Amino acid sequence: MPLRDWMLLLLLSVLWGGSFFFVELAVGALPAMTIVWLRVAPAALLLALVLWARGLAWPRGWRVWAALAVMGLLNNALPFTLFVTAQARIDSGLAAILNATTPLWALILGLVAGAEARPGMARLAGLGLGFGGVAVMLGGGATGTTSTLAAQLLCLGGALSYACAGVWGRRFAPMGLSPLATAFGQLAMASLLLLPLMLYLDRPWQLALPGPSVLGALAGLTLLSTALAYLIYFRLLASVGAVNLLLVTFLIPVSALALGIGVLGEAPGVRALAGMALIGAGLAAIDGRLPAWLRRRMRPLAG
């Protein structure tokens, strides 16, 4: 990849890794659904303005909007809510590590749906390593007393939801919907789906006005980790392809851990780091490029 695309990929990992950091700042002051709604609704408005400025077509037709509603549920409303709820009990770094299991779930779903070819030994080993890492973290005490099994399972549920969204999202290209219009549509529908639940459960009009740090975290979550991140994501999708974009999965936990340790003072335990190492090794085996590079490097030595 060109250097510019590598830099954009690193920036995207920081933006998405930063979402766990921003949530950690906001979760003590606001209910989960309020945080999520304030993330998706303004971001949908911003992407609508981008679509208008670029002269791109908006989604049209009830079938398209119905499909976008499912996408908004699977890719935004449900996983965002699960992760925010979980982060009330576990550290941001651990949540980001569990989020990195998304490609593992995606591979399993692809095999079940028949969209993936029969996996070779490398991919099977990758799955084993990845879920071995999950088992290590679920074994107890991954980040001390703040970690609970229920919160970790919520994160795994969110990662599974992202994987389901990846399968569901394959239908939008044949519909003639641009990636940016898909991002706007799913965020808009997620906002509509969350609104009645947020109003009923959180009663936001009764909440105290958050402090500056929480308001700043919400702004970062909306502007940086959602709206800007989607713009960069689709720019990279067009230039480097979906396979290369998988690399961001390796980098998000690193960004989230760095922010958690450096700014929030979090201290990930040995289990969390060991689990991250196993998941990273599993993703590397599934991706295939690192093993292929090692084989190329070793071939001259063997000769």
221-253, pLDDT tens digit by residue? 999 999 999 889 888 877 776 656 667 877 888
Q: Average pLDDT, whole number, for the chain?
A: 84
Q: Tell me, what's the pLDDT at 291?
A: 61
More confident residue, 229 or 299: 229
In 3D space, the residue among 89, 30, 1, 17 whose CA is nearest the CA of residue 218 turns out to be: 30
pLDDT band at 145 (very low <50, low <70, confident <90, very high): very low
The arithmetic mean of pLDDT across residues 29-33, rounded, is 94
Cα 187 to Cα 12, 18, 88, 193: the distances in Å are: 18, 19, 24, 10
pLDDT band at 74 (very low <50, low <70, confident <90, very high): very high
Q: Tell me, what's the pLDDT at 144?
A: 46
Residue-range domain boundaries for the chain: 3-291
- pLDDT tens track for 175-187: 888 888 999 999 9
Q: Please report, as a single letter, which amino acid is at residue 152.
A: Q
Q: Tell me, what's the pLDDT at 118?
A: 67
State pTM to two decimals.
0.85
Q: Is 296's pLDDT higher than 80?
A: no
Q: Tell me, what's the pLDDT at 127?
A: 78
